[in-house]
Structure 1
């Protein structure tokens, strides 16, 4: 009994000593991470709106990217087992609002802004979206078809991945390459 009480007293004093230490930088909010080792693992909810044409597209691969690019990316993310993309209709209003606020007439510069504004943050969080992937495509002299894509961590309102692809000859291979960057 004496041993039990001394062990209990030691455990309580150690707990109180640890509990009174201030939080360190390691305890600060961490970036978006997927841990498949955790028994409470759940898929990351994503939104992948249709890729937008910033300029008129005449190239066949460019047209395919606009028509099927977002669906192909969603398919690949589901296939990975780490992501759960929302259906297009679930975020149509939020996407229209985001697109209107960010789109300019200058090629794909509307994709180049960093993160989300406060109102957009609230809108996407209310939908349960944790990662938002947006894309724009254009045809530029000397570069051919140019695809600009970025994924935003909605919880932090910051960019996670941003890539630009030029001279696209196979739209599915390009989308696969971006999906690899996300994984």
Structure 2
């Protein structure tokens, strides 16, 4: 599948691979940072490394080079890892595209900074730090953390069970034909 380039620029400053930090297993965060941003995961993100698998992705200007970011999501999908995408507001289109490509893996998007609202994504979208979009700022990272913690409480629509016994609880299953007989206990 060939994609149209967003812009033609040099990719010399893009890390060869995304920068992985944090847990080996557990919930994931994929951070989409502008290519001209931090070459290393900013120190402000260290508290999140204690709770998440964190992949810091410097997003290239050329869509053809997004395979590095897609590889991260494929790895997390292979691990059955629930993942949130944290994206600089300028990268909202990339975040939405990743949700569309990995609907069973991405559980939510956190947009950092002001910008256009995405269209329907099928996952919760939160915006933080409307006035500032510096992904290395500790105050911004605290807002991201709060948004992630709030997002962990939301079950994606495609994972919700729509079965009668799931809605009414286990007690209703025990009152049906498979309920233990009280006559046998005497």
Greater fraction helix = 1
What TM-score, normalized by structure 2, do the two folds share? 0.32
Larger Rg over CA atoms: 1
What TM-score, normalized by structure 1, do the two folds share? 0.33
